[in-house]
Amino acid sequence: MIFSRNRGLPSLICGSADKLPFKNELFDLVFALDVIEHIDEDLSAVKELNRILKPGGRLILTVPAFQFLWTNHDLALHHKRRYTRSGILSILRLGSFENEKATYWNFSLFLPVATIRLLKRFHRSGNEMQTDLAELPFHLNGLLQELIRIENWIIERIDLPVGVSVMCICRKVSDGQDETKWA
């Protein structure tokens, strides 16, 4: 919380994604970016996100992709699981959401990340829990930001076949509303 206050965000609310401290139907838009993979019961978190959204409200969600990419990085970050596009869509449908957009994301880093993670699996140096996160040189970080900008432009037009994450935009289904957008 000190980190946030130092950046001009003095009013913070602390809660758990499966028991949010908000009234029903309060928000038009909720972001859950790399959140539900940390919750034991991901469906309960999705239902809770639905509860706090107004009818027709949108949820923008990202989760880590592909269980075969699981390494000590996931353990260090306290992940419970990774997802496929179809897997997260099933959970969202059960949580009464209608799919508007679901795609893999961070496509440009998929091959390098998959290669490194698979190599680490075969060349383990103990069971130490450490992340793959590292501070990057300014110019490399700028290049990666540009790759993400290009990828974001692409996913407005097509869904990507693989990526390090899955990104979904979905709408809260109102009672009696048709749930047909799950392809």
pLDDT tens digit string along 157-179?
Answer: 999 999 999 999 999 997 655 54
- In contact, 130 and 62? CB cutoff 8 Å: no
Is the confidence at residue 90, as pLDDT, over 90? yes
Global pTM value: 0.84
CATH of domain 23-172: 3.40.50.150
Question: In a 10 Å sphere around its CB, with 0-12 CB exposed, 13-18 middle and 19+ buried, how is residue 60 labelled?
Answer: middle
Predicted local confidence at residue 175, as pLDDT: 64
d(CA 60, CA 99): 10
